Structure 1
């Protein structure tokens, strides 16, 4: 199938993207000296930018390909959460199903870059499952979104959105609607029941079966992975 037809068929498709929302920040500057306080560079800030990360980046890519992403997730009721929602609005991505909650913290990854070289990354996050009241709200959002979408993407960064129990519920809900269900996984939440396609990287896939992947065994490895799950395909 030619890519032009794929793009044409994909245009306007409503894709539910549920998962861990990350706000990426970039601080650009110059380094001209070392701090007198400690042996570290002093960065003189020239510019700062924000970008969508995690599940939000998936939604942004779907938008760029002509699809209509419906992002479901949660951010903190904080300054970075507000910045994130403003970034969504600028990109014309629907934010109706983004929860803003006091009980959680917006995940922010800040990269300090000087002379085109990343000096350090600062992660602002708390790796823990969402409170039960937030999970209930997410489930209500998913129930609503599934009524009017063509496929679902679960974007798991192991930051708190997903648990095995939530994924079991999600898989059952999607299978009832008989729509494609694509998962970008993390080993912690294996096996992602009812998934249509799962897209682990090499390290993630190896951890599922607790052994190394090689060029020689990659096909048999994938076959065994499919035999131990109810996935339709693994990429």
Structure 2
């Protein structure tokens, strides 16, 4: 495969889409650093054993700023060609008026605030012409929301998109590529068993979209087929 190879840091790589991305970038010849929560064994550990030393595992709880800072210190001196943040939770399909404050805070912190803290803290490690991406969703699109439902999850992804827009606006002269990626409706714990795509069907498209956007500065909101997702 005629890829430009490099080093990718994938935050949230222990299972499903994150694990699939780690495996895909290894297959494409990249070196990968993947993060997991806690100290338990995951699928990423199995992948690392078969990687010939090209996959390193770091522990990170993304909602803890001090852990993000500690990871930044551990990676001091490394140059990343790709920083990709894959993280999201949902807590059921409640109308927003029925969402407890604690649930609202948890979902917003995990889906929007945490990823942006990672981007802000670890972004300086990314090469001047590298790529910073976060896993978004078409459910974060305001213009596509014609049916409602999943109020809190939608709001968290819209918030993530807006915060990435703020990040990009503050760095208008930055040559790096900034990506919001919609992986499609995927059969994961989040997407559910009735989703249209398997992880194996979604991930290669996500990786290929990242590859094709390399060297294109600015913020791009795209799906796993490389198509523009409307704001």
TM range (shorter): 0.3 to 0.5
TM-score (norm 1): 0.46
The structure whose residues are more often helix, as a share, is: 2
The structure whose residues are more often strand, as a share, is: 1
